[in-house]
Chains A and B, each alone.
Chain A
Amino acid sequence: MSKAAEKKNKQSIVNRFVDLLLQVKESLAPETEPVLAGIWSDEKSFLSAIKELKQKGYKKISAITPCPVHGLEDLLEIKRSWIPWVTFVFGSAGCLFGLWFTWWTSAVDWPLIIGGKPFWSLPAFIPVIFECTILLGALSSVAALFYACKIPSVDPPVLDKDLTSHKFALYFSLKDKKLSTEELEKELLAVGAEKVIQSDF
Chain B
Amino acid sequence: MAIKNYEQTRTFSTVLIFIGIVAFTVALFLGFQERVWHAYLLSYFYFVLIALGGVFFMSIQHATNAGWSVSVRRLSEALTAYLPVACILTLPLIYGAFSLYDWLDAEKVAKDHLLVHKAPYLNLPFFLIRLGIFLGGWIFFARKLVSFSLKQDQDGDTIWTKKSVKYSVIFLLFFALSLSLFSVDLLMSLDAHWFSTIFGVYVFAGLFQSVFAALILLSAWLLKQDKEKYKTWINENHLHDMGKFLFAATVFWAYIAFSQYMLIWYANLPEETTFFLYRSKGAWAFVSISLIVFKFILPFLFLLPRWVKRNWKTMIFASCLILFMQFVDLYWLIYPHFDSYFPHFSWVEVGVFLAFFGVFVRSVFSFLQKHSPVPLKDPRMKESLSHHVTY
Residues of A within 8 A of B (CB): 68, 70-71, 73, 78, 80-81, 88, 115-116, 123-124, 126-127
Contacts and interface: CB of A to CB of B under 8 A. Distances in A.
A144 B276 CA distance: 43
What 3 A-B pairs are tightest by C-beta distance, nearest first?
A70-B388, A123-B262, A123-B265
A88 B388 CA distance: 25
Contacts of B386: 70
Interface string B370-390: 000000000000000010101
A81 B391 contact: yes
Interface of B: 258, 261-262, 265-266, 268, 304, 306, 386, 388, 390-391
Contact of B391 (A73, A88, A115, A116): A73
Contacts of B265: 123
Contacts of B306: 80
Contacts of B266: 115, 123-124
25 contacts: A68-B390, A70-B386, A70-B388, A70-B390, A71-B388, A73-B390, A73-B391, A78-B391, A80-B306, A80-B391, A81-B391, A88-B304, A115-B266, A115-B268, A116-B268, A123-B258, A123-B261, A123-B262, A123-B265, A123-B266, A124-B262, A124-B266, A126-B258, A126-B262, A127-B262
A116 B268 CA distance: 10
A55 B262 CA distance: 61
A81 B391 CA distance: 8
A127 B259 CA distance: 10
Contacts of A70: 386, 388, 390
Contacts of A73: 390-391
A88 to B, nearest CB: 7
Nearest to B264: A123
A108 to B, nearest CB: 22
Nearest to B305: A84
Contacts of A127: 262
A88 B391 CA distance: 17
A80 B389 CA distance: 13
A88 B261 CA distance: 27
A115 to B, nearest CB: 7
A26 B338 CA distance: 76
A68 B258 CA distance: 39
Nearest to A80: B391
Contacts of B390: 68, 70, 73
A78 B391 CA distance: 10
A70 B383 CA distance: 13
Contacts of B268: 115-116
Contacts of A80: 306, 391
